[in-house]
């Protein structure tokens, strides 16, 4: 497996041209996010990723995590890397200063998280869950819960987990059976949860579980669910650890990839019941949980980008050193690496273009959340939040699908050696494959996009984005045609909103169309700025040319095909008319 080197030049360029980080830093609370500090943070994150985390990727894949006498043992080096992560203050990067964080923009934190996830997705999953726990507790928790738990979650001294899924209730959250019974000012939790990432581990002395359970008098379905904070160890009034809570990891799942990340079956209440405290109001657990899930979905989309970048670096390194065959461009005898073959070059450029598109989309979505939380103008905050809500399912689904595609292409670049585990290419594909499934499958994301984000407001938010793209677009004919196709598709979905099965049958291709077009629009700004710098003889000419060529490839081979998705979006009658028995 090749070493990981953070693509800092590309990251900085996207932050400058898509996120407009200098302008973002003028928002209230971000005054200290000056250029020198941003550069120092990025360089420090890159060093930590390449030197501390990246060497653990193949170690973690081979060793995996193991359950021994009720304790999960993580692979060699994981505990030391996590301690260095906490000691370096990295966990607190994007949290508000009021709760002990560094108060830096989320867009910058996303950039750093990309590096750590590229270095080892299995390792980076742990702090990802803690971020969600902090956000849920900060927004919905009582003052006492915040006092006891936020400081150590923000610092990373303790980690958080998210507990939704149960054996009989996968995506059907309303079918959950885990129950909560009142016990004074607290609750006793009994039930079982599955697929709980880092539900048990040896990295920190305490784990703070956010558990969705059925309230004592709650109605059936999702309306009767509440969110509870259930710590592995109870916490005394002075913040010290008390007795072990009534919860345990029953087993670990044996997975296709991310072997180092312990995916736990968790049992709550084998005896008297695990003690937990209500977060938010009773029977409003889904509202609280979505605070965690929206963050997680953005971060999962980022995983698609991050693993794709690692797979690309692996494939590029192999293609530049592997010698096989004489390329058609060779003018003399000699030894040539396979990067000289036209199709290998095409595959690498396809990987590079899709990564650039994902990076632009993920960073842009993160910057919208910064505006939504920090802009002084209420209307601006509301508009940014609405656009972020529209794009988060696109980020999650489109980027994770692209991540799998890029990782698969990386295997193809290696040829037969890609199918051999020793090269490392297969691990990237195996690791990437979970991302389209968890935090709501990509089909669920598409349903959310169409049903909740487009049809519920009559297409207003989507239409506003389409109009904004038209008004600010600097791209060419392919982008204009893509925007037109997205406009037509959106209007069709709104017009047929009452025909639920018909429109949801085309939800996945609609999400794909949205991802391609919005990413193409963002890349157009990158190409325009690269050309401006090239004409003005600013910066590195080779780098500027590489940006222009990458965007041109995306336009010609990906964006140009976007309008062809329209028949699939409007083809629900064929889907629903097909005999189920004939499938």
Is the domain of 456 the same as that of 574? yes
Q: Is residue 1 part of a domain?
A: no
Q: Is residue 331 part of a domain?
A: no
Q: Is residue 492 part of a domain?
A: yes
- The CATH number given to whatever domain includes residue 59 is 1.10.540.10
Residue 550: Cβ within 10 Å count: 22
- Which of 283, 305, 324 corresponds to the end of one domain? 283
- Which of 155, 179, 196 corresponds to the end of one domain? 155
Q: What is the CA radius of gyration of the chain?
A: 24
Parent domain of 171: 159-283
C-alpha span between 116 and 153 (Å, rounded):
19
Q: Is residue 216 part of a domain?
A: yes
Is the domain of 85 the same as that of 202? no
Q: Shortest CA distance to 566 belongs to which of 488, 464, 472?
A: 488
Sign for the pseudo-dihedral over CA of 340, 346, 348, 353 = positive
Is the domain of 92 the same as that of 46? yes
Is the domain of 201 the same as that of 251? yes
Is the domain of 130 the same as that of 166? no
Q: Is residue 340 part of a domain?
A: no
Q: Is residue 398 part of a domain?
A: no
528 burial (CB, 10 Å; 0-12 / 13-18 / 19+) is middle
Is the domain of 112 the same as that of 230? no
Q: Is residue 519 part of a domain?
A: yes
* Per-residue tens of pLDDT for the chain, all 583 residues: 789 999 999 999 999 999 999 899 899 989 888 999 999 999 999 999 999 999 999 999 999 999 998 899 999 999 999 999 999 999 999 899 999 999 999 999 999 999 999 999 999 999 999 999 999 999 999 999 999 999 999 999 999 999 988 987 766 666 788 999 999 999 999 999 999 999 999 999 999 999 999 988 888 888 899 999 999 999 999 999 999 999 999 999 999 999 999 999 999 999 999 999 999 999 998 888 877 778 889 999 999 999 999 999 999 999 999 998 888 988 777 789 999 999 999 999 999 999 999 999 999 999 999 999 999 999 999 999 999 999 999 999 999 999 999 999 999 999 999 999 999 999 999 999 999 998 899 999 999 999 999 999 999 999 999 999 999 878 899 999 999 999 999 999 999 999 999 999 999 999 999 999 999 999 999 999 999 999 999 999 999 999 999 999 999 999 999 999 999 999 999 999 999 999 9
C-alpha span between 506 and 455 (Å, rounded):
13
Is the domain of 446 the same as that of 582? yes
* Token output for 208: 């703070």
Is the domain of 446 the same as that of 562? yes
Is the domain of 164 the same as that of 271? yes
- The CATH number given to whatever domain includes residue 177 is 2.40.110.20
| 439 given a catalytic annotation | yes
Is the domain of 174 the same as that of 72? no
pTM comes to 0.96
Is the domain of 136 the same as that of 163? no
Is the domain of 168 the same as that of 62? no
- Which of 239, 257, 283 corresponds to the end of one domain? 283
Q: Render 244-297 in DSSP notation, one character per residue.
A: EPSEEEEEE---SS-TTS-EEEEEE-SSS-EEEEEESSTT-HHHHHHHHHHHHH
The three-point CA angle 163-178-287 to 5° equals 55
In degrees and rounded to multiples of 5, residue 160 shows phi and psi of -115, 160
**Number of domains into which the chain is organized:** 3
Active-site pick, 200, 439, 529, 570: 439
Q: Is residue 291 part of a domain?
A: no
Distances (CA, A) of 355 to 299, 305, 404: 15, 6, 11
């Amino acid at each position: 497996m090749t070493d990981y080197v953070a693509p800092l030049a590309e990251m900085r360029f996207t932050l400058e041209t898509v996120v407009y980080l200098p302008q973002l830093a003028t928002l209230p609370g971000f005054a200290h996010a000056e250029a020198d500090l941003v550069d120092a943070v990025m360089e420090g994150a890159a060093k930590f990723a390449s030197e501390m985390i990246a060497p653990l990727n193949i170690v973690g894949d081979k060793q995996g995590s193991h359950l021994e006498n009720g304790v999960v043992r993580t692979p060699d080096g994981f505990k030391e890397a996590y301690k260095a992560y906490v000691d370096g203050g990295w966990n607190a990067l994007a949290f508000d200063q009021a709760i002990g964080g560094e108060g830096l923009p989320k867009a910058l934190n996303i950039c750093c998280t990309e590096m750590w996830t590229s270095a080892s997705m299995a390792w980076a999953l742990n702090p990802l869950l803690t971020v969600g726990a902090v956000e849920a507790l900060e927004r919905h928790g009582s003052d006492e819960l915040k006092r006891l738990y936020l400081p150590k979650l923000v610092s990373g001294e303790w980690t958080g987990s998210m507990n939704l899924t149960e054996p009989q209730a996968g995506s059907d959250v309303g079918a959950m059976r885990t129950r909560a019974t009142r016990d004074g000012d607290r609750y006793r939790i009994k039930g079982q949860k599955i697929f709980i990432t880092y539900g048990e581990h040896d990295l920190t002395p305490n784990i703070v579980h956010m558990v969705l359970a059925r309230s004592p008098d709650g109605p059936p379905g999702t309306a009767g669910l509440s969110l509870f904070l259930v710590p592995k160890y109870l916490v005394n009034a002075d913040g010290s650890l008390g007795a072990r809570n009534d919860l345990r990891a029953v087993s670990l799942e044996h997975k296709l990839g991310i072997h180092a990340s312990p995916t736990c079956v968790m049992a709550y209440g084998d005896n008297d019941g695990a003690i937990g405290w209500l977060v938010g109001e009773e029977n409003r657990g889904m509202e609280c949980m979505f605070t965690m899930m929206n963050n997680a979905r953005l971060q999962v989309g980022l995983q698609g980008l991050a693993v794709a970048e690692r797979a690309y670096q692996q494939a590029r390194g192999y293609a530049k050193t592997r010698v096989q065959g004489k390329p058609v461009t060779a003018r003399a005898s000699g030894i040539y690496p396979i990067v000289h073959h036209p199709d290998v070059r095409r595959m690498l450029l396809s990987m590079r273009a899709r990564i650039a598109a994902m990076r632009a989309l993920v960073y842009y979505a993160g910057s919208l959340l910064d505006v939504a939380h920090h802009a002084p103008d209420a209307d601006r905050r509301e508009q940014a939040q609405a656009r972020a809500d529209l794009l988060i399912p696109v980020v999650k689904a489109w980027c994770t699908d692209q991540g799998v595609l890029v990782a698969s292409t990386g295997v193809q670049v290696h040829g037969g050696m890609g199918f051999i585990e020793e090269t490392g290419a297969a691990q990237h594909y195996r690791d990437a494959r979970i991302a389209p499934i968890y935090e709501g499958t990509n089909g669920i994301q598409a349903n959310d996009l169409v049903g909740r984000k487009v049809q519920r407001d009559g297409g207003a938010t989507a239409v506003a984005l389409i109009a904004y793209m038209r008004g600010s677009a600097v791209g060419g004919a392919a982008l204009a045609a893509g925007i037109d196709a997205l406009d037509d598709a959106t209007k069709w979905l709104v017009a047929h909103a009452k025909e639920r099965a018909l429109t949801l049958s085309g939800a996945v291709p609609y999400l794909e169309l949205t991802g391609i077009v919005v990413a193409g629009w963002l890349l157009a700004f990158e190409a325009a700025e690269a050309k401006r710098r090239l004409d003005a003889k600013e910066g590195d000419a080779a780098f500027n040319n590489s940006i222009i060529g990458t965007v041109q490839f995306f336009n010609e081979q990906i964006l140009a095909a976007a309008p062809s998705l329209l028949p699939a979006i409007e083809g629900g009658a064929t889907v629903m008319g097909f005999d189920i028995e004939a499938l």
